[in-house]
Homo-oligomer: A and B are copies of this chain.
Amino acid sequence: MAWKDHVRNVVPYTPGEQPESKNIIKLNTNENPYPPSNAVKQALHDLDTNDLRLYPSPKATDLVKALADYYHVEEDNVFVGVGSDDVIGMAFLTFFNSSKPILFPDISYSFYSVWADLYQIPYERPALDENFKLKKEDYYKENGGIIIPNPNAPTAIYEELANIEDIISHNRDVVVMIDEAYIDFGGKSALSLVSKYDNLLVIQTYSKSRSMAGMRIGYAIGNKELIQYLNAVKNSYNSYTMNAPSIIAGVASLQDKPYFESTVDRVIKTRERVKKQMKEIGFLFTDSLANFLFASHKMIPARELFEELREKNIYVRYFDSARIDNYLRISIGTDEEMDQLLHELKKIVNKRGI
């Protein structure tokens, strides 16, 4: 017998490429094209590195307080982690501990099945309808828990809060997680339902709307019992997950609401403008309420578009998976970056005489 016989074998998730070159237009990982607020810059600049010799607050107290204030909840309604991946992974481990399958849409964030495999959680994936919309009745059957991304990725589709609430209320005996990584770009958050449903956990992130993917900050808001369980598991794994710079920068970002709103607004404006222009050259879209487009061309296969853009140093995301293999996921960049994209797309379309 070799030590290899007892290794946990997992199929590793492949994240979007992080090219080292600066000459690339990077529209492949849904990062925000605008930098974080100057308040973040100032806070990191003022960080006293002498304090780094000490462990950070194990509860990330300052950040939890700031988030509680921001969302008008109590501190014990808030859990923070190293990006929303950390928060959701921890929540899977904590709450999806039944022998019944958990449920999530067949097309959704690809990490869900990876976490389920990692923790040996059974799962089923009800199919979205032909327009990639959720069929809420699929979530009425017995299950071990539910996770739904809203807006969904990579489809960019936002589900009305009434549908989300319907699913939560049909599943009071399990934990329902709503993964709202993209909610700030036009959707209505389920946070308003947290006080009503003790089985609801809402997860958000600093990586998209707050332009801080590099800091790794995610958080969950839910009733205090859920948060307590989550903290118990987190403290069993690693008491000090969030480092000192993240706590400080996370607080600072919340203090500059006008900047946050203005960058979100710019991303939305660019999105709508680009949609219109792409439509003119034959693209079709889902109705995106995220910071990316899920686009398909009437004539040109997505894979070809992906490869030709790549040759021009424009990186978008292509998923070689059933049902979505003729779509591109295109993050919204700056106006200049999107103009460059449009320019190249036009050339690709014209070349084919379409």
Contacts and interface: CB of A to CB of B under 8 A. Distances in A.
B44 A174 contact: no
A173 to B, nearest CB: 5
A200 to B, nearest CB: 10
24 contacts: A6-B95, A6-B175, A9-B229, A10-B232, A12-B231, A13-B236, A18-B54, A32-B53, A36-B49, A36-B53, A41-B49, A52-B213, A54-B213, A82-B82, A85-B239, A85-B240, A93-B118, A115-B236, A115-B237, A214-B244, A215-B245, A216-B241, A243-B243, A243-B245
A85 B238 contact: yes
The 4 A-B residue pairs whose C-beta atoms are closest, nearest first, are A52-B214, A214-B244, A6-B98, A35-B50
Given A45-B45, A215-B244, A18 B55 contact: yes
The residue in A12, A34, A51, A231 that gathers the most chain B C-beta atoms within 10 A of its C-beta is A12
Contacts of A32: 53
B216 A97 contact: no
A240 B16 CA distance: 11
Given A33-B53, A35-B52, A236 B6 contact: no
Contacts of A57: 18
A50 B34 CA distance: 8
Given A6-B98, A12-B235, 19 more contacts: A3-B172, A3-B175, A3-B199, A6-B174, A8-B233, A18-B55, A29-B55, A34-B53, A36-B49, A40-B49, A51-B214, A53-B211, A85-B240, A89-B237, A118-B236, A215-B243, A243-B243, A243-B246, A245-B246
A7 interface: yes
Interface in A1-52: 1-13, 15, 18, 26, 29, 31-36, 40-41, 44-45, 47, 49-52
Contact of A173 (B1, B94, B174): B1
A118 B58 contact: no
Nearest to A30: B55
Interface residues of A, number: 86
A86 interface: yes
B211 A52 contact: yes
Contact of A52 (B40, B50, B56, B243): B40
Given A8-B94, A96-B6, A213-B240, A52 B36 contact: yes
A34 B50 CA distance: 8
B118 A237 contact: yes
Contacts of A13: 235-236, 239
Nearest to A32: B53
Contacts of A67: none
A154 interface: no
Interface in A90-119: 93-98, 114-115, 117-118
A83 interface: yes
A97 B213 contact: no
